[in-house]
Structure 1
Amino acid sequence: MAAWSTQTQLGKQIGLDARQVGARLSELGLKSGSAATEAAVTKGLARLTTMRDGTEFYVWSTAEVLTLLGGPRETAPPAATAAESAFDLVYATDGSAIRNPGPTGWAWVNQRTGETGAGGLSHGTNNIGELLALQYALEHAGPEGDLLVRADSQYVINIATTWGRGWQRRGWKKADGKVPENLEIVKAILALLDARTGRTEFQWVKGHAGDHFNEIVDQLANAQARAAGAA
């Protein structure tokens, strides 16, 4: 699914504010006044979407428009910490939901290679986004090698390390006898963890606190949630 971004979101990736992005889009013939040009819409570079209160605004095809604007601002990723260096693989994950529940996105990044994966759902929750990010990160990482997963969701880390195993022992029931939420995704995650031959550990990361890779997956997941909401 293609990702769509507002001018503000585009600007964050190239070091410009929303007004400067708008001026650049106008110079490229993609924007006229407050609206995207017919050419931009016809080429699939822009589309009109509506906020919950009925306000209309344009979003822009992230990858294509960033390329036209000169590409994302190049920033060197931080060097691996001593703790991260002890692992063969390091992945950051994140999920996002608009209005929670509402349009949902998920994303992961391989901190060694910079490779990313992301996707969205028309309806879900933040927790579903967080769980899917972990599931798809585990699928991409594969069963071999020592893996560190970095996430800002205590919910996901607790499920992967303690809660999920307790539910499994009780026949997929919580301590109060109720069925856990998002059980099919939880089962898929535990199966992927069981299949791993290398060790798997988790690290909690404070969200929105400037962590380079956490910011990447946060932006990707948010963009996917917005794209799912606009579809």
Structure 2
Amino acid sequence: MKILWTDGSASPNPGPGGYAVICDGQPVRLGREEASTNIRMEGAAMRAAMQFLAGEEGEIHSDSEFWSNVLTKWAPGWEKNGWKKKTGPIKNLNLVKELYELYRDSRVKLIWVKGHDGIEMNELTDLWANKARENEGAENVEVELVSTE
């Protein structure tokens, strides 16, 4: 079973964004978007992690409590209600739908970790997300220019 770590960043927020997916202490997916938000890049990182696993069993560790809640708590109800919520439109709906479908069809366990709390792999993933935002790749891993729309 693979254990992945994901993180996304935008600076300023909104602004240029980047994400990273780490496995065994090394980046396996890096991406960036010219105009993004932290939330979108966190979601893009989870999408890339699930695509990297490609049906394999795995864990995805993320400091995005928002996306963990979207996938495990909120999206099932939104889907039942025709992708609507009582308080207004769902932001980033295309990404929500795509990510929820990937999650629903996966063998992935999501694990939320507190961000910026000294957890070594979370800090490393944050570092690589920031490097990706600045279009800095890693050995054998280029930064993909992505769109989350």
Fold equivalence (TM over 0.5): yes
Say if 2:132 is the partner of 1:221.
Answer: no
Task: Give me the CA root mean square deviation.
Answer: 1.7
Q: Which residue pairs with 1:95 in the alignment?
A: 8
Quick one: distance in 1 between partners of 2:17 and 2:56? 30
Indicate the residue corresponding to 2:103 in structure 1: 193
- Higher strand fraction: Structure 1 or Structure 2? 2
Structure 1 residue 205 corresponds to structure 2 residue 109: no
8 A contact 1:98–1:226 mirrored in 2: no
Structure 2 gap segments, 5+ residues each: 137-149
1 or 2 for the larger relative contact order (CA 8 Å, sep ≥6)? 2
Match of 2:141 in 1: none
1:108 matched to 2:18? The reply is no
Give identity over the alignment, percent.
33
Give the counterpart letter for 1:130 in structure 2: E
Shift of 1:138: 0.2
- Rate the CA distance shift 1:222–1:114 in 2: closer, same or farther, 3 A: closer
2:50 matched to 1:138? yes
1:34-73 to structure 2, matched below 5 A, reads none
Could you tell me how far 1:179 is from its partner in structure 2? 2.1
1:96-154 deviation line (CA, Å, top 9, x unaligned): 0001000001111123x735211101101000000000001000011132x21111111
Aligned residue number for residue 153 of structure 1: 64
Q: Where do 5+ consecutive residues of structure 1 fail to align?
A: 1-87
After TM superposition, which residue ranges in structure 1, 4 or more long, deviate above 4 angstroms? none
Q: 1:144/1:224 Cα in 2 relative to 1: closer, same or farther (>3 Å)?
A: closer
Separation in structure 1 between the aligned mates of residue 13 and residue 74 of structure 2, nearest angstrom: 22
The answer on whether the counterparts of 1:94 and 1:107 sit within 8 Å (CA) in structure 2 is yes
Distance in 1 (alpha carbons) for counterparts of 2:34 and 2:84: 28
Q: Structure 2: how far apart are the matches of 1:174 and 1:156?
A: 16
Q: What does the per-residue CA deviation read over 1:27-86, in whole Å, with 9 as the maximum and x for residues that have no partner?
A: xxxxxxxxxxxxxxxxxxxxxxxxxxxxxxxxxxxxxxxxxxxxxxxxxxxxxxxxxxxx
Contact 2:5/2:23, CA 8 A, preserved across alignment: yes
Instruction: Give the greater-gyration-radius structure (CA).
Output: 1
> C-alpha distance in 2, partners of 1:151/1:163?
17
